[in-house]
Structure 1
Amino acid sequence: MIRALLTTAGPVTKKELAARVGRGISRPLSRLLERGLVREFVPTDGPATPAPPPPDWASVVPESGSALLFGGLQASDYPGLIGKHETALLLAPEILAAKELHRFLLPHFPRAELYHSGLSEGDKGRIWEQVRAGTAKIVVGTRSAVFLPFPDLDLVLVEREEDRGYKQSDMLPYYHARALARRRGKTVLLASPAPAVETYHQAMAGEIALVHPPQPSREVERVCVDMRKESGVVTRPLAEGIAQVLDAGRKGIVVVPRRGYFQAVACKNCGEILRCPSCGTPLVYAARRAQLVCRVCGRAYPSFTCPSCGGRALRFLGTGAERVKAELHALFPSARVALIDAEAVRRRPGIDLTGVLSREAELVVGTPIIAKGTALPEIGIAAAVGIDAILAASDFRAGERTYQLLANLSTRLTAGRLIVQTRYPTHYAITAALAGDYVRFYSQELESRRAFSYPPFSHLARIILPPRQEAALKSALREFPVEFLGPSSPPGRGGKELFLIKAPNSLSLQEACRAAKQAIPKAEIDIDPERI
């Protein structure tokens, strides 16, 4: 079979391959697909639109310093970008995205290594030592790879640089891989179709170079479904779009912001959101186990009493990925429906979207991790369900997160339909994303940030204090030009208090935080937090 594939010019259908081999091909072909030696795809209807020629990266990208590659990269861009550099580190925000990027690179760089937290300690140690010795020259990894001991690092490429997965904020030390990357490489490239507002502002101010890589022609129909006029988890326009794609022999993906069956569980009596008594994370309902579970610490609660009023009646809120999967399975019983979320990645370390679409399912439901990556021609429809949970979050970055999710999701399509279900069809983050108008989004977002003095027009720190320490904090910071927001009570933190501190510049913020730590040693301080 390998000989037959190597002697074939261009793609070959399964029927043609079986005729040439002369025997069953299903089992050996599956093994080749699993190892990434061959790739399966579904051709789009009509003649393919030729991709633009890759640019002369040597003349486009600066030899040193930082640059924003606004618009994102195609798979064909990586060889040219990396080729002129002896050593390169490519960062991806999630393990799933890192695996996909590594797979794209292997045909061009067979010795490229993959480094992430899911590897065994032995594999991580082997790669670490090879990097130190200079024998591993190209590495793809998640945020922890930024610490690999390259003796001399020519290029660092941060894919989807806006993703908050680059910030470690759940344990000390707090760090942002994007910020560290800009200190490590001679050339640092920040790539994204929807960069962070702060990065965009820096590029427009000339603090970093701005590069617009050529983009392929996309024939994408963008549809907004107004949930004030529609009902159901899977609306009629979405169901009809999926049916058309399946009839054409193509695939579909549906992104849902939250795992589980519902987004949250509340007490029916008092409305209190039920949280894990151990870590304070909102509990979700696991339909298969018929239990409330915590997705952070893993605890399960077969029965639960509301801590506020003692009620036992529950009310389920919102839509989770598992519920959407169940709805799609009921609507399309002959289609295979798969679920990809963080739990699936942990359970199946080798899972990736391309493999699932080619071998296991016609429809894939997933959390936002499946929206990050290059275009897959077999995808005919991409949908966003339940995104109002992001837009309505109590976070000044809510609009930005919504726009970035939709912009990233649209890059998964070469030709097809993008469908967004929302109760806020006129919000500028959604209208700009559907129109592909980044100027409109960033101008309005920056105007809002300026009005309320949020980054990039200020610098933030999140400070969590033991109870009754507000007076001590304000006393320690009274000599610094900072603004206080709070206190609020972070859930599951035993009565601790959360403050946001705004400062006009980074130096003032760092000095204020240093003074706060000296005055209150138990203070937990996160500078430039990604999560409020």
Structure 2
Amino acid sequence: MCVDVPLPHLDRPFDYLVAGADDVAAQPGVRVKVRFAGQLVGGFLLERAEASEHQGKLAYLEKVVSPERVLDPEVARLARAVADRYAGSLNDVLRLAIPPRHARVESPPAKAKGDAPAEPAEPAEPAVQRAFQAPVPGGWDSYPTGPAYLKALEAGRPARAVWSALPGEDWSLRIAEAAAATVTGGRGVVIVVGDARDLDRVDRSLGAVLGPGRHVALNAALGPAERYRRFLAASRHQVPVVVGTRAAMWAPAAELGLVVIWDDGDDLHAEPRSPYPHARDVLLTRAQLADCAALVGGFARTGEGQLLLETGWAKEIVAERAVLRRRQPAISPTGDDPQLARDAGAVVARLPSLAWQTAKQALQAGLPVLVQVPRRGYLPSVACAECRTPARCPECSGPLALQNARDVPVCLWCGRSFPAYQCPACGERRLRASVIGAKRTAEELGRAFPGVPVRTSGRDEILDTVPGEAAIVVATPGAEPVAEGGFGAVLLLDTWALLSRADLRAAEETMRRWLNASALARPGSEGGRVIVVADGSLAPVQALLRWDPGWFAARELAERRELGFPPAARMASVTGPAPAVADLLTIADLPDGTEQLGPVPAGEEQERMLLRVSRSRAAELAHALHVAAGVRSARKAAVAVRIQVDPAELF
């Protein structure tokens, strides 16, 4: 059994005897109580065996907390694999995977005498069959390999795909159709989306395609009791499909046939609690262990998604260029030479004339306009004041930052300072940084377009939908609403604040945010336009103009291979007080070729070291760090060290 003790050196199963009175209830997957080091602690029973290899005396289980088998065997295997991959412990992973118990929820409702036991709802087979046999015109048949993928799902084959959704795609309905094809083949589905708005969309689509009682939606906003009730519906295999936000990556499913993640580049998919797993990696590991299908979808494509294609682990689902041209909006930059010749102020203006004219035309046509501005609160980042090239360390290619206006550029990875930094692109020595928020932008647009309603969608209030009438919506990335019929114009402002962020994934994240916003515009044939306030020669802008996320992802992955960055390489972050970090690294038997970057400051009296290895040595690195953490734990080290494998942020 797995004992709920958060100490790395105790990350192993322990054997206990089962009394005759508990023989029936004590089944693999149930919650139990045991005596451990003189204390009564909880845990999960992993398996039953006739005998133990332990030579000493065994204690008995104190109590079976509940006969409910909440830890599915497939999820238990997954949890162990994820713990190993992220240098964590099984106990930490199970805390993420299994929600807290609510005894009243486990108890069945009271029945009158003579009532028959409640049975799970019967499958809505006709709805499922219709969804698969007659796909919506313009749906999966818009992609050459789409229908074949659905047939593979129905046949139960482990078809794995990276899907680049078309602009304006009803992506939630496509996911529901893929789920229906899998259910038709008699297998279960787990779907993970980034936030509650996306969850609501998929929830509605699954209800429409599968019919009632065929899926559950898991969301922390439901409250602990209701969420546990829905979790039990999945663990009891009463429904074949489970959808939810990040925590749903652990949801149990009978005969798992398909795992789906939408928009895998969204930072909401990264778990902020130890051992910090990413939903994409958990689901892909799950697909590998269960030998089931996988679907990684989005308007954009991450480096990890591209790597799946280049290694042959997954196949590409993408539309033909002719179909794409019919569906995409007309996209124009404002930083190319012809535009600058007409409007010399466009290079520095937040709303150059082309963007202003485009918004005005859409409003005059009675169509809504979406204005995307960067989110506030980014880490300090600097770029060349002349050509705006992000400033990076000449030694390790890490991001440079300024602590204040009089400071010298310092690398956030290796800690080196560069008082004489010179831009490698143009030779300029001056650096700059700028971010302007949504509220100020809304005020500016209100003055520019008097009489036009201006609404904001962001942290304080997120709009789900807006009417298809003349109005301006200023939104931060991820908070863009859906307009009835699509937006007439989408303006992408303050692009340098995104592109110059001190982040390894700055360009990739910018591309993702641009494509997600641009996908909300009407097709170009219906008047939809997108204006990106950036130089048209930049790679992200070129990819946006052609709507080619695959080309951009391949380019990003090639650059990361050359520089030794994830996902082409594996990195681990070790954070804590300097003596504790040094102690752990001294103990750790790091694999040959491990490169150490740093240390750099990581908060008050904290420092961080980055460790880099090839992908083939990733498992060795994780194991070495976990063993070292266990040694320090056994020695009762006073200060813990945080270990993150492939952290979402490298600085």
Q: TM-score, normalised by structure 2?
A: 0.59
Distance 1:358 1:113 in 2: 31
The DSSP-based 3-state class of the residue aligned with 1:512 is: helix
**Structure whose alpha-carbon radius of gyration is higher:** 2
2:67 corresponds to which residue? none
Contact 1:131 1:148 in 2 (8 A): yes
Alpha-carbon shift at residue 509 of structure 1 (Å): 2.0
For residue 390 of structure 1, the aligned residue among 486, 490, 498 is 498
1:128 matched to 2:231: yes
1:369 corresponds to which residue? 478
Structure 1 residues 113 and 331 mapped into 2: Cα distance closer, same or farther (>3 Å)? Answer: farther
1:407 matched to 2:499: no
Distance 1:269 1:134 in 2: 54
Q: Quick one: which amino acid aligns to residue 575 of structure 2?
A: I
Q: How does 1:149-298 map to 2 (within 5 A)?
A: 149-169=252-272, 171-184=273-286, 186-212=292-318, 217-226=326-335, 229-259=346-376, 270-271=404-405
Q: Quick one: which amino acid aligns to residue 80 of structure 1?
A: E
Distance 2:489 2:152 in 1: 33
For residue 81 of structure 1, the aligned residue among 178, 183, 188 is 178
Contact 2:376 2:435 in 1 (8 A): no
Alpha-carbon shift at residue 52 of structure 1 (Å): 6.2
1:379 corresponds to which residue? 487
Alpha-carbon shift at residue 496 of structure 1 (Å): 0.4
Distance 2:461 2:330 in 1: 30
Alpha-carbon shift at residue 332 of structure 1 (Å): 2.3
- Identical-pair percentage: 22
Alpha-carbon shift at residue 269 of structure 1 (Å): 12
Alpha-carbon shift at residue 464 of structure 1 (Å): 0.7
The DSSP-based 3-state class of the residue aligned with 1:210 is: strand
Distance 1:155 1:248 in 2: 44
2:601 corresponds to which residue? 489
1:92 matched to 2:216: no
Distance 2:497 2:612 in 1: 26
2:58 corresponds to which residue? none
Contact 1:157 1:188 in 2 (8 A): yes
1:527 matched to 2:645: yes
Q: How does 1:343-492 map to 2 (within 5 A)?
A: 343-345=460-462, 351-352=463-464, 354=465, 356-357=466-467, 362-370=471-479, 377-415=485-523, 416-422=528-534, 425-438=536-549, 440-469=551-580, 471-477=582-588, 479-481=590-592, 482-490=594-602
Q: Quick one: which amino acid aligns to residue 337 of structure 1?
A: V
Alpha-carbon shift at residue 66 of structure 1 (Å): 5.4
Distance 2:247 2:159 in 1: 20
1:40 corresponds to which residue? none
Contact 1:252 1:363 in 2 (8 A): yes
The DSSP-based 3-state class of the residue aligned with 1:499 is: strand
* Structure 1 stretches lacking a partner, 5+ long: 1-49, 274-314, 346-350
Alpha-carbon shift at residue 179 of structure 1 (Å): 1.8
Structure 1 residues 157 and 320 mapped into 2: Cα distance closer, same or farther (>3 Å)? Answer: same
Q: Quick one: which amino acid aligns to residue 418 of structure 1?
A: V
For residue 501 of structure 1, the aligned residue among 577, 596, 611 is 611
Structure 1 residues 103 and 80 mapped into 2: Cα distance closer, same or farther (>3 Å)? Answer: closer
1:51 corresponds to which residue? 138
Q: Quick one: which amino acid aligns to residue 190 of structure 2?
A: L
1:33 corresponds to which residue? none
* Structure 2 stretches lacking a partner, 5+ long: 1-136, 383-401, 408-431, 634-639
Alpha-carbon shift at residue 369 of structure 1 (Å): 0.9
Q: Deviations over 1:37-69 (max 9, x none)?
A: xxxxxxxxxxxxx83663424346583435223
Structure 1 residues 478 and 390 mapped into 2: Cα distance closer, same or farther (>3 Å)? Answer: farther
Structure 1 residues 509 and 448 mapped into 2: Cα distance closer, same or farther (>3 Å)? Answer: same
Distance 2:589 2:254 in 1: 44
Contact 1:251 1:379 in 2 (8 A): yes
The DSSP-based 3-state class of the residue aligned with 1:102 is: helix
The DSSP-based 3-state class of the residue aligned with 1:325 is: helix
Q: How does 1:26-65 map to 2 (within 5 A)?
A: 51=138, 54=141, 55-56=146-147, 57-59=149-151, 63-65=156-158
1:72 corresponds to which residue? 165
Structure 1 residues 325 and 265 mapped into 2: Cα distance closer, same or farther (>3 Å)? Answer: farther
Q: Deviations over 1:59-94 (max 9, x none)?
A: 465834352233126325344312222232322112
1:318 corresponds to which residue? 435
The DSSP-based 3-state class of the residue aligned with 1:461 is: strand
4+ residue segments displaced more than 6 Å: 262-266
Contact 1:259 1:322 in 2 (8 A): no
Distance 1:205 1:78 in 2: 24
Q: Deviations over 1:445-483 (max 9, x none)?
A: 233212211123211111112134454344334652211
Q: Which moved more, 1:106-115 or 1:404-413?
A: 106-115
Distance 2:453 2:176 in 1: 35
The DSSP-based 3-state class of the residue aligned with 1:103 is: helix
Structure 1 residues 114 and 53 mapped into 2: Cα distance closer, same or farther (>3 Å)? Answer: closer
Distance 1:93 1:369 in 2: 10
The DSSP-based 3-state class of the residue aligned with 2:209 is: coil
The DSSP-based 3-state class of the residue aligned with 2:510 is: helix
Alpha-carbon shift at residue 343 of structure 1 (Å): 3.4
Q: Deviations over 1:174-207 (max 9, x none)?
A: 1111122224453221112322212212212212
The DSSP-based 3-state class of the residue aligned with 2:599 is: strand
Distance 1:201 1:269 in 2: 36
Structure 1 residues 330 and 530 mapped into 2: Cα distance closer, same or farther (>3 Å)? Answer: same
Structure 1 residues 247 and 484 mapped into 2: Cα distance closer, same or farther (>3 Å)? Answer: same
RMSD of aligned residue pairs (Cα, Å)? 3.4
Structure 1 residues 479 and 246 mapped into 2: Cα distance closer, same or farther (>3 Å)? Answer: closer
Contact 1:376 1:413 in 2 (8 A): no
Distance 1:59 1:151 in 2: 20
Distance 1:64 1:371 in 2: 36
The DSSP-based 3-state class of the residue aligned with 1:201 is: helix
The DSSP-based 3-state class of the residue aligned with 2:578 is: coil
Distance 1:329 1:88 in 2: 46
Structure 1 residues 526 and 77 mapped into 2: Cα distance closer, same or farther (>3 Å)? Answer: same
Distance 1:94 1:429 in 2: 25
